[in-house]
Structure formats: structure tokens, C-alpha cells
Structure 1
Amino acid sequence: MEDKQNFLLKAANLFIENGAKTLTMDDIAREFGISKKTLYQKYRNKEELLEEVLQFKLGEVIQRMKYLDENIENAVERMGCRDVEIDRVSHSNNTILIRQLIKYYPAIFNKHMLNFSEQFSEVLVHNIEKGRTQGYYRKDFDAQIYTKIFFQIVMSYDSSPHLNTTIIDREDYNNEAMMMYMNAITTEKGKEVLKKIYSKKDKQ
């Protein structure tokens, strides 16, 4: 079997294109040109492979978020930059993979989302700690709770019964969610940076 990273990348794309339930171990073995016996020597069942694929995709998202944290010094500017990974997070609930996970593998889905929430929150808590030392973020709120609330809002676009997604555009929703979150946590000094960021975006 080819190296693990390439295998998981290709397997992830197969699940995303076909769905968690639809794609079978036979299909995967056929796509990789290996026997089903060889595949089962590596993974006891499809559920075990699904969990590893989800962990792999989550790692890609978190790695990119951490990269931006390390390379953008100003904590507010980092949150104001166009973050394709946060966009991907919000889009992920609407894929056939996730829809079938929710329906057919709820235990795997719930475990994945809890893990996702924890790691996503950890990155944002780090951003808050950095912003507080820079004087951009308030100190009188619980960073863990605020980041979990933000994650829940970002992930709710496709699943909330209170949103009419034929009227409310996803990008507008995400932009407003980010604005609400940032206005809630910034000091007056931080809000000045926010104003500059959004005034630039308005001119684009």
C-alpha cells in the first residue's frame, strides 16, 4: 500500500465524493488496485478507516489555522484575514460525506465534531491569549466558552431550523458571525484595528 498520507488523502476524496455509507471497502480496494484482504489487514472495518480519514482532514484544517497564527503577528488582523479554512469548516456540514455520517454513523460524527470543536477552540484561545497581551482583546470573558460559541455559530448554517438559507447567503452569514464575535471580544484599541480591516474590505 502506498505511503499513508497519500493513501488518506485519496481515501478522503473518495468519501467526500461518494459519501460515508455509499462508498464500500470493495470500492476503496478497487480504486487503489489492492485486494480487499490487504485493505482489511490495515483497517478492521470501514468505520476504523472513516475515523482515520476524518482525523486526517481535521489535521489539515488545524495545521493551516496554526500556520496563519504563527505568520500574522497582530491577533486582530489574523482573525480579519480571509481564512479559507474557516470557510471550509462552515461548508463541511453540507457535504454528502457529513450528511451520511450524521444519518448512518452518528457516533463517529459526534466524536469527530467534539474533537473538531476542541482543536478549533484551542487555536482560537491561543489567538485570544496573544491578543490580550497585545491589548486588543478584553480580559473579562471566558475564552473557552466564547470560542465554542463561535464554532457552534459557524457550523450552524446548514443545520439550523431558524435560518432560511435561500435568503441568507453563506458568505454574508459567516462575515456577520465573525464581526459579532470580534466586536464582542475586542477592546477599544482592538476595534480601531477592526475598523481599518473592514474599511479596506469595503473599498475592494
Structure 2
Amino acid sequence: MTDKILEISKDLFLNLGFKSVTMDEIASKLGVSKKTIYKYFKNKTELVGAVTDYMFHTICFGIDRICEKKQNPIEELFSIKKMVMEHLKDEKSSPQYQLQKYYPKIYASLKQKQFQVMQTTIKDNLSRGIELNLFRENINVDFVARIYFYGMNGIKDQTVFPLTNFSKNELMLNYLEYHLRGIATEKGIQELENQLKQS
């Protein structure tokens, strides 16, 4: 039952936002009473924390599976983007903004965990890219990994990138291209062009 509650809650939160969704709506969608949900989660804040953890671990698992394939680093980033978009395909609200505003402790904890995972993944990606002559050897790996994380979070800010002007997919694709063009060698640019044709 816990997984079912998390899955349904996740879909509703991504569609309508963390603040907008009520426990009544979740119960109604599940076809159970609110009491049933409270058996597993003592309040909405606890449920929001559990859902963000659930989403985080699901996406981390997906990233790990992709990294195990040892694709070339540019292809790997495109595969990760595609997987993340599949998980967030129903995201129509601004869940990150609502999480930050109404559940700041959960947001801060999630951001810290995302930072740690992304630093490890991106630094490995950059190092392999340099070895394969896809990325320039003189890039500062630590700086680029941090700026990549900051940019990926920045494009989720709808006050700067409103969904009426940019789709989520377009934003992620544009940012990925922007990132790769800044660090790629000629060989890397060719691979990037290749990936863009397939996107």
C-alpha cells in the first residue's frame, strides 16, 4: 500500500504542485479513506518528504543503470536527460518552486542529496570525456560539475523560464547543448551534433 500511495501522490504533486494537492484528493484518487493514508504517513509533510525521497531514489536508480552501460559521455548525458524526462513527463505545475516555498527543510535536504549524486556522476562523466578526447583536457572538472548542477536547477525557475515560453524538454535540451558546446573538442562537437539529430 505504501508504494501505491507514493506513486499516486507523486503523479498528483507533479501535476498540481505540492501545496495544491490535498490529502482528500489523494485518498479519493486511491479510492480509500484519509484514515488509511494516515496509517502510513502521520501528516502531509511526512508524505511530501517520502514522495520526494521516492522520486530521488527512482531517478538515482535510473542514472546508475545508464552509467553501468559505459556509453560515451555525451551519449550518456542524453540518455540521462531522456530518462529524467520520462519520469517527470506529467510535471505541469512548478513542484520545485512549491517545495522550496512551502516545505523548505525537505527542499534543502533534497537539493543537498541531488548535489552529492550529481557531483559524483558529472565528475566521472567529465573525466571520461577528457580521456576519450570528447572534452577539452584543460577544463576545470570541479568547476564545470558545479556549474552544471547550478544550471540544471536554474532552468527549473519558472520566474526566469516560464513554461509558456519554454517546454521542459526544450529547456533541458538547450541547456545540455549549451553545456557541451562549452567543453567539447571537435570530436565532441561531432558526437553532440549526432545526438541532437536523434533527439
Bin for the TM-score computed over the shorter chain: 0.7 to 0.9
Aligned length: 199
Matched-pair contact (CA < 8 Å) for 2:14–2:90? no
- Give 1:24's aligned amino acid: T
The CA distance in 2 between the partners of 1:44 and 1:163, in whole Å, is 36
Which of 97, 100, 105 is the aligned partner of 1:99? 97
The CA distance in 1 between the partners of 2:63 and 2:34, in whole Å, is 36
* Mapping 1:5-154, distance limit 5 Å: 5-80=3-78, 83-87=81-85, 95-138=93-136, 140-154=138-152
* Mapping 1:145-164, distance limit 5 Å: 145-159=143-157
The CA distance in 2 between the partners of 1:160 and 1:18, in whole Å, is 15
Gaps of 5+ in 1: none
Per the alignment, in what secondary structure is the counterpart of residue 23 of structure 1?
Answer: coil
Larger Rg: 1
Give the Å deviation of 1:75: 2.0
Give the Å deviation of 1:12: 0.8
The CA distance in 2 between the partners of 1:26 and 1:34, in whole Å, is 10
Partner of residue 187, structure 2: 192
The CA distance in 1 between the partners of 2:77 and 2:183, in whole Å, is 12
Give the Å deviation of 1:20: 1.6
Instruction: Give the percent of matched residue pairs that are identical in Structure 1 and Structure 2.
Output: 19
The CA distance in 2 between the partners of 1:15 and 1:153, in whole Å, is 23
Matched-pair contact (CA < 8 Å) for 1:76–1:194? no
The CA distance in 1 between the partners of 2:53 and 2:80, in whole Å, is 24
Gaps of 5+ in 2: none
RMSD: 3.6
**Which range is displaced more, 172-181 or 115-124?**
172-181
Give the Å deviation of 1:71: 2.0
- Give 1:194's aligned amino acid: I
The CA distance in 1 between the partners of 2:138 and 2:108, in whole Å, is 31
- Give 1:20's aligned amino acid: F
Give the Å deviation of 1:29: 3.1
Q: What are the superposed Cα offsets for residues 95-136 of structure 1, whole Å, 9 maximum, x if unpaired?
A: 243333233222322322232232233222232233344444
Give the Å deviation of 1:46: 0.9
Q: Tell me: CA distance 1:31–1:164, structure 2 relative to 1, closer, same or farther (3 Å).
A: closer
**Which range is displaced more, 128-137 or 80-89?**
80-89
Q: Tell me: CA distance 1:139–1:58, structure 2 relative to 1, closer, same or farther (3 Å).
A: same
